[in-house]
Amino acid sequence: MRTEKRKKLEAAGWKVANTSEFLQLSDTEARFLEIKLSLVRMLRVCRERNQLTQAQLAKRIRSSQSRVAKMEAGDPSVSVDLLMRSLLAVGVKPRELAGAIGAGKN
């Protein structure tokens, strides 16, 4: 957010906060969420790079197209385990996974 806009909002009595503050997340929860979102972004990019539809990926991981859609949308009901298995199914190497996890720690 631009500094000018932030100052105007604060002058009007609004409290400006980031997502973690708004959701009252602990540092650990915020870091975990960033890592999970990093994996979610990677899944979609890798699926599309491999020219797979959501249905094709679902078949590879013995799941449903709607579950893959939920994964790519970052649905909280999706486990990190399922994200990791799906990433491996689209050919992501362990080193790439480590990079995505490291990128999510910022």
pLDDT at 104: 59
In the CATH hierarchy, which top-level class contains the domain 43-106?
Answer: mainly alpha
Q: How far apart are CA 98 and CA 87, in angstroms?
A: 12
pLDDT at 103 > cutoff 80: no
- Structural domain spans, the chain: 43-106
What mean pLDDT do residues 77-100 have? 94
Residue 60 backbone zone (phi > 0: left; psi -120 to 50: alpha; other: beta): alpha
- Where residue 17 falls among pLDDT bands split at 50, 70, 90? confident
Q: Please check the confidence at residue 84 and state whether its pLDDT lies above 70.
A: yes
Residue 7, sorted as left (phi over 0), alpha (psi -120 to 50) or beta, turns out to be alpha
pLDDT digits (tens, 9 = 90+) for 30-66: 899 899 999 999 999 999 999 999 999 999 999 999 9
